[in-house]
């Protein structure tokens, strides 16, 4: 019979921690190293407030002018602003799909705004917040689930 050369972890030592003999430490989970900076917090709150404001604005306009609405702009504004609120909540809970939803809603809204007005400035104004959010969130994407 040969003896096994594997070493057992002492009973008092939790899994993933180094012992005194210098063995490798397992990497900490992403949840343990997550810290929300004030800038990320401010961006998430602004996304939420922007979405909530335009949700109320579009809902009020759709209720009062529901018969006269011939454009898809206000219904799309309502849908994309609700998506912004959902995306902000998902970003608060470190969900990667929250950022993807925010970018998709922004692209839909920018396209609808450009088709409704025909001004390229509307496209730029719609995409600029998502570009700024991407600049802030993409370096931290390894922290998102």
pTM exceeds 0.75 for this model: no
- The pLDDT, as a whole number, for residue 25 is 47
Q: What is the pLDDT of residues 93-117, one digit of tens each?
A: 999 999 999 999 999 999 988 888 8
Measured from the Cβ of residue 123, the count of other Cβ atoms closer than 10 Å reads 16
Q: What is the pLDDT of residues 45-57, one digit of tens each?
A: 999 999 999 899 8
Residue 78 makes CB contacts below 8 A (sequence gap 6+) with 54, 55, 58, 59, 62
Q: What is the pLDDT of residues 34-90, one digit of tens each?
A: 788 899 999 999 999 999 998 998 888 877 776 665 678 888 889 999 999 999 999
Round the average pLDDT of the chain to a whole number and report it: 80
**Strand (E) or helix (H) holding 55:** helix 38-64
C-alpha span between 107 and 105 (Å, rounded): 5
């Amino acid at each position: 019979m040969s003896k096994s050369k594997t070493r057992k972890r002492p009973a008092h030592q939790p899994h993933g921690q180094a012992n005194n003999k210098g063995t490798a430490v397992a990497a900490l989970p992403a949840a343990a190293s997550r810290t929300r900076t004030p800038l990320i917090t401010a961006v998430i709150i602004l996304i939420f407030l922007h979405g909530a404001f335009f949700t109320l604005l579009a809902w009020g306009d759709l209720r009062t002018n529901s018969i006269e609405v011939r454009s898809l702009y206000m219904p799309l504004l309502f849908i994309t602003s609700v998506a912004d609120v959902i995306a902000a909540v998902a970003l608060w809970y470190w969900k990667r799909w929250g950022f993807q939803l925010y970018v998709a809603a922004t692209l839909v809204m920018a396209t609808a705004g450009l088709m409704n007005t025909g001004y390229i400035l509307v496209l730029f104004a719609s995409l600029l917040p998502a570009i700024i959010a991407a600049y802030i969130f993409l370096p931290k994407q390894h922290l998102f689930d």
